[in-house]
Amino acid sequence: MTVKVAIAGASGRMGRMLIEAALQLPEVTFAAALDRADSPFIGRDAGELVGNACGVVITADVDAALAVADCLIDFTRPEGTLAHLRIARRLKRAIVIGTTGFSPEEKALIGEAAREIPVMFAPNMSVGVNAVFKLLDVAAKILASGYDVEVFEAHHRYKVDAPSGTALRMGEVVADALGRDLGECAVYGREGVTGERKPETIGFATVRGGDVIGDHTVMFCGLGERVEISHKASSRMPYATGALRAAAFLQGKASGLYDMQDVLGLK
């Protein structure tokens, strides 16, 4: 049985990749496409965005889109995602959220909605990245003493939040494994005379430029050696196929807050 998906932000970079993937995967039916009301693509065939007309017309009517779908996939912006979430909650539709940059209060709203509908919320839908999360948990426990932890990430010039949601999740995984609170031990910038590095901190470095899809590296720096665990994306396709796999996973699921570790059976 296929899952019928609606894709938000259809004309965006990630939206187009999701459409391309949805039209290729047999376990998915591309049912609806959403975009902003002021988008020049409203009323056009969504498939034309990827050179494959499919009969799905892009609309700004979220209610109409979700009426013909089982699940909404949203990689837009926090404010747009939360507006879509309210409608999905009212219509009892599952939702896959790949948007990043939420505040703690906004994340709490997602958790509230998950009490009533199935919600997949993950900072990165790539299978490879989620394998890295698991590896980081193992590495952090082995390298728990005598190693400084630094997280590096690079993305394209258009990304609006920093550090990336994936980098933050990497930091959370390491902090949890070490029994630390990332909110208390994270260092997001260094400038001037910073003093000697405190061993309990987890540092973050961010690069924005060009068309970098997404590079992430966590370094465990000891005396005389350094262990690095990296993931480098050369395409958005892994995020798209992972999100569609997540939508299929949610089909028939009870309400709740899920992530890609659930989808991959890594918990």
Domain range annotation of the chain? 3-125+236-263, 127-233
Whole-number percent of the chain with pLDDT over 90: 95
Predicted confidence band of residue 117 (pLDDT cuts 50, 70, 90)? very high
Active site residue 84: no
Predicted confidence band of residue 19 (pLDDT cuts 50, 70, 90)? very high
Judged against a pLDDT cut of 90, whether residue 70 lies above it is answered with yes
> Which CATH fold would you assign to the domain 3-125+236-263?
Rossmann fold (3.40.50)
- Kindly report the average pLDDT of the chain as a whole number: 96
What φ, ψ does residue 134 adopt, rounded to 5°? -65, -40
Which candidate, 211, 210, 220, places its Cα nearest to that of 177? 220
Mean pLDDT of 61-90: 97
Angle at the Cα of 214 (from 210 to 220), degrees rounded to 5? 120
| pLDDT value of position 100 | 87
Per the DSSP assignment, residues forming a β-bridge with 7 are: 33, 73
Mean pLDDT of 216-229: 98
| pLDDT value of position 13 | 92
Catalytic site residue from 84, 92, 134, 155: 155
Predicted confidence band of residue 266 (pLDDT cuts 50, 70, 90)? confident
End-to-end CA distance of the chain: 26
Identify the CATH homologous superfamily for domain 127-233: Dihydrodipicolinate Reductase; domain 2 (3.30.360.10)
Active site residue 159: yes
Judged against a pLDDT cut of 80, whether residue 1 lies above it is answered with no
Catalytic site residue from 4, 134, 159, 253: 159
| pLDDT value of position 101 | 87
pLDDT (tens digit per residue) in 140-196:
999 999 999 999 999 999 999 999 999 999 999 999 999 999 999 999 989 999 999
One-letter identity of residue 203: G
Mean pLDDT of 61-87: 97
| pLDDT value of position 255 | 97
